[in-house]
């Protein structure tokens, strides 16, 4: 189906057929959900040995009684695992509570309110604060900015990462830019892993930015490969060469490794940044949940165990992603109805409809019993300027449910495209 050059007569014929297909789907009264990128129950069960794993032995490797207060930086062995995930040094990595999103919020708040380089560097003193947001991107990053009064400017994501010409130009021209979001591996939602050249240019951004500039390097999918792992160049190694170590703060967590709601989150940053952040943290807590960190270290003592564990996740996830890819390939290859990538890891497939169709597709799918992430959610302020992007998250439903949901999706994309063209 190519609708761009189709005649009115052909479009009306398609509309008639597709409306009948759609009515048949609505009559099935489905109830399927492709919204949030969560692990399925089957994936969560891979880590159920966490329960009871300590068998009364609460001592960490250095003899710390993990039940007590203290250890604000996290257990040394957990910090080492976080450092290995993030390609950072253990002494510059903290292992903390269950959510990396919380750590991102805390780092943002520290930068806005107190300043990583002392009170004069607090971002709020600049008046206007702006973040660069590669789009489509992760909706919760944008919510954090909105909550803290940080404006957002979108830059395009390409096959190798953010459009670095746009990023550099913005930094050169706009002194209110104080930071940037990045999901550098299997990006949410495009699945793109940043190329070496992009990582290198990222590491050099601080040289042209205002002092205090920070890149929030959210490596949420660092070890979440589906097939052959893609390699991401080390941002810290590149920063060490560029002399910009203070400009990057890295985040990761075990949320999609073990139990999503009861994991361990990691943050890595330069020694200078750590001094500021630890002061910020120490006033809030007398230490993280070290018992949970110890449980994680008994289950996943090193990267070899972690990689095995992630392969078990991949075996569960891959058929679901295959179901999405097969449906999209069969329906849209060679048409002008949409564009998508087949991700090599992460939790999402990002689909671009014809301009002006995404909201209609999401609405029609909802009316046919398939919930999709609201159109626009992958853009700052929830507004996709071209109304094109839809994020598909197939991890939770069964393979049969993904197949059924994709049948609905495909029909909705076709019908919405034809109706839009006819309108
Ligand atoms: N960062 C990204 C890019 C995500 O996609 C998600 C969850 O979907 C998170 C962070 C949330 O991480 P956490 O569970 O560690 O707060």
Question: Can you tell me the ipTM of this complex?
Answer: 0.99
Asked if residue 270 is part of any domain, the answer here is yes
| Beta strand 161-162 pairing with 214-218 | unpaired
Tell me: do 249 and 355 sit in the same domain: no
Q: Which ranges of the chain have pLDDT less than 70? A: none
Q: The domain that contains 137 carries what CATH number?
A: 3.40.640.10
Same domain, 83 and 225: yes
CB atoms within 10 A of CB 38: 17
**Cα distance between residue 381 and residue 365, in whole Å:** 23
Domain-ending residue, one of 286, 301, 316: 301
Angle of helix 76-86 relative to helix 303-332, nearest 10 degrees?
Answer: 40
**Residues 217 and 344 both lie in one domain:** no
Domain that holds residue 126: 62-301
Instruction: List pLDDT tens digits, range 136-180.
Output: 999 999 999 999 999 999 999 999 999 999 999 999 999 999 999
Predicted local confidence at residue 1, as pLDDT: 79
Q: List pLDDT tens digits, range 111-143.
A: 999 999 999 999 999 989 999 999 999 999 999
For residue 252, the ligand 1 atom closest to its alpha carbon is: 15
Distance in Å, CA 37 to ligand 1 centroid? 9
Our count of domains for the chain comes to: 2
Take residue 119 and report the two structure tokens written for it: 């009170």
328 lines ligand 1 (CB under 6 A): no
The predicted pLDDT at position 235 comes to: 98
Using a 10 angstrom Cβ sphere, with 0-12 exposed, 13-18 middle and 19 or more buried, the burial of residue 29 is exposed
| Sign, CA torsion 294/295/299/300 | negative
Residue where a domain stops, chosen among 245, 279, 301: 301
What ligand 1 atom has the least distance to the C-alpha of 187? Answer: 3
Domain check: are 256 and 329 in the same one? no
Q: What is the CATH number of the domain that holds 12?
A: 3.90.1150.10
Q: Measured in angstroms, how far is the CA atom of residue 102 from the centroid of ligand 1? A: 10
Tell me which residue has its CA closest to atom 6 in ligand 1. 220
């Amino acid at each position: 189906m190519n609708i761009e050059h189709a005649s009115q007569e052909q479009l009306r014929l398609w509309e008639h057929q597709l409306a009948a297909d759609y009515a048949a789907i609505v009559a099935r009264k489905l109830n399927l959900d492709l919204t949030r990128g969560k692990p399925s129950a089957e994936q969560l069960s891979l880590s159920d040995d966490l329960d009871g794993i300590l068998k009364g032995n609460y001592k960490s490797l250095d003899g710390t009684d993990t039940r007590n207060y203290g250890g604000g930086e996290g257990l040394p062995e957990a910090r080492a695992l976080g450092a290995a995930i993030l390609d950072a040094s253990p002494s510059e990595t903290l292992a903390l509570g269950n959510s990396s999103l919380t750590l991102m919020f805390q780092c943002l708040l520290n930068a806005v309110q107190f300043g990583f380089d002392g009170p004069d560097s607090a971002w709020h003193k600049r008046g206007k604060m702006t973040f660069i947001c590669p789009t489509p991107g992760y909706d919760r990053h944008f919510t954090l900015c909105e909550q803290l009064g940080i404006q957002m400017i979108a830059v395009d994501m390409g096959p190798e990462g953010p459009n670095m010409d746009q990023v550099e130009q913005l930094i050169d021209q706009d002194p209110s830019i104080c930071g940037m979001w990045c999901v550098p591996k299997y990006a949410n939602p495009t699945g793109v892993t940043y190329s070496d050249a992009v990582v290198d240019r990222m590491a050099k951004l601080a040289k042209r930015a205002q002092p205090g500039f920070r890149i929030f390097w959210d490596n949420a999918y660092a070890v979440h490969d589906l097939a052959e792992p893609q390699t991401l160049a080390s941002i810290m190694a590149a920063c060490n060469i560029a002399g910009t170590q203070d400009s990057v703060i890295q985040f990761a967590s075990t949320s999609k490794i073990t139990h999503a709601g009861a994991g361990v989150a990691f943050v890595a940053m330069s020694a200078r940044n750590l001094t500021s952040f630890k002061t910020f943290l120490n006033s809030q807590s007398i230490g993280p949940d070290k018992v949970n960190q110890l449980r994680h270290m008994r289950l996943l003592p090193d990267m070899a165990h972690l990689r095995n564990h992630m392969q078990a996740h991949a075996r569960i996830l891959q058929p679901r992603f295959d179901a999405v890819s097969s449906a999209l390939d069969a329906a849209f290859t060679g048409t002008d109805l949409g564009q998508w990538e087949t991700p090599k890891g992460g939790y999402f497939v990002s689909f671009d409809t014809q301009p002006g169709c995404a909201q209609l597709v999401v609405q029609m799918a909802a009316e046919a019993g398939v919930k999709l992430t609201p159109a626009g959610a992958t853009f700052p302020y929830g507004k996709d300027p071209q109304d094109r992007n839809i994020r598909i998250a197939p991890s939770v439903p069964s393979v049969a449910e993904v197949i059924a949901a994709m049948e609905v999706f495909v029909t909705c994309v076709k019908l919405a495209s034809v109706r839009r063209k006819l309108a």
